[in-house]
């Protein structure tokens, strides 16, 4: 039985083809999480609204996309939509599938953050004459962000790895390019080990970014807590 080829592992560790695949993974994640967050915020507001005309469609969307596998959603978008005259490229299908799927999960994250803000503060802001939009902007969201940021950061971490599913529709991100090299070089363990290391480096780098973001939004609360302790 042939052992692990360390020479091959180190050879492909700095491979430009795989590095470009990792960059594709990063921008796929960045675009999908941004679009997903915007859609998720809209869905969360619809979910919290009183009119059933807004609330029910949001509930249905969240139920549908959270209850079906992303793999199935991607296949339907890439191979099913052309049957209705909607033809999307691999990149467009990957971005659409990831964004729509992520929006369903982020909608619940945003909703939970908004609902965590004490209702008394909302009523106090309304009593001062602030409009609903102003209450949301100046009172609710600054407090909700502190609650939203940690799960949002975890979503980015998960999405960095979830992008690998787009390889089934031939999206040339990191995993797809790894599979292509495996078919050419027959170095299965070595190339998958390189890919795993790339994913580990990307998620570790994001972990540092996430901690800084959490510290930034938690600074006012930490300062207030420190001031109370000094009294």
CB of 65 closer than 8 Å to CB of 40: no
Q: 144-173 as b/e, with b when 16 or more CB fall inside 10 Å?
A: bbbbbbbebbebbbebbbbbbbbbebebbb
What is the per-residue pLDDT for 120? Answer: 84
114 domain residue, yes or no: yes
Distance CA 117, CA 135 (A): 11
Tell me the pLDDT of the chain (231 aa) as tens digits: 467 888 889 989 989 999 999 999 999 999 999 999 999 999 999 999 989 999 999 999 999 999 999 999 999 999 999 999 999 999 999 999 999 999 999 999 999 998 988 888 888 888 888 888 888 888 888 888 888 999 999 999 999 999 999 999 999 999 999 999 999 988 899 999 999 999 999 999 999 999 998 888 776 655 544 554 555
What is the per-residue pLDDT for 223? Answer: 52
70 domain residue, yes or no: yes
- Structural domain count, the chain: 1
What is the per-residue pLDDT for 2? Answer: 63
1 domain residue, yes or no: no
Question: What is the residue range of 57's domain?
Answer: 6-230
CB of 160 closer than 8 Å to CB of 98: no
What is the per-residue pLDDT for 1? Answer: 41
What is the per-residue pLDDT for 228? Answer: 46
Q: What is the CATH number of the domain that holds 223?
A: 1.10.3720.10
Using N-to-C axis directions, what is the helix angle for 174-185 and 16-48, rounded to 10°? 150
Positive/negative CA dihedral, 215, 218, 220, 226: negative
What is the per-residue pLDDT for 220? Answer: 60
Distance CA 79, CA 143 (A): 42
Q: 206-230 as b/e, with b when 16 or more CB fall inside 10 Å?
A: beeebeeeeeebeeeeeeeeeeeee
pTM beyond 0.85: the answer is yes
140 domain residue, yes or no: yes
């Amino acid at each position: 039985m042939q052992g692990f080829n360390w020479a091959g592992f180190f050879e492909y560790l700095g491979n430009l083809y795989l590095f470009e695949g990792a960059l594709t993974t990063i921008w796929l994640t960045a675009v999908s999480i941004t679009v997903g967050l915007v859609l998720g915020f809209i869905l969360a507001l619809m979910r919290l609204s009183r009119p059933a005309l807004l609330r029910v469609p949001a509930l249905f969307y969240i139920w549908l996309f959270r209850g079906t596998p992303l793999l199935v959603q991607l296949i339907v978008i890439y191979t099913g939509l052309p049957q209705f005259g909607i033809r999307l490229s691999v990149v467009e299908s990957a971005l659409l599938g990831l964004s729509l799927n992520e929006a369903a999960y982020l909608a619940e994250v945003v909703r939970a953050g908004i609902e965590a803000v004490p209702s008394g503060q909302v009523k106090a802001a309304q009593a001062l004459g602030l409009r609903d939009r102003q209450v949301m902007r100046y009172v609710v969201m600054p407090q909700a962000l502190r609650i939203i940021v940690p799960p949002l950061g975890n979503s980015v971490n998960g999405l960095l790895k979830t992008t690998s599913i787009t390889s089934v529709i031939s999206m040339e991100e990191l995993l797809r390019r790894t599979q292509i090299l495996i078919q050419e070089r027959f170095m299965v363990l070595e190339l998958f080990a390189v890919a795993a290391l790339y994913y580990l480096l990307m998620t570790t780098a994001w972990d540092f970014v996430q901690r800084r973001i959490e510290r930034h939004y938690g600074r006012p609360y930490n300062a207030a807590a420190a001031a109370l302790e000094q009294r």
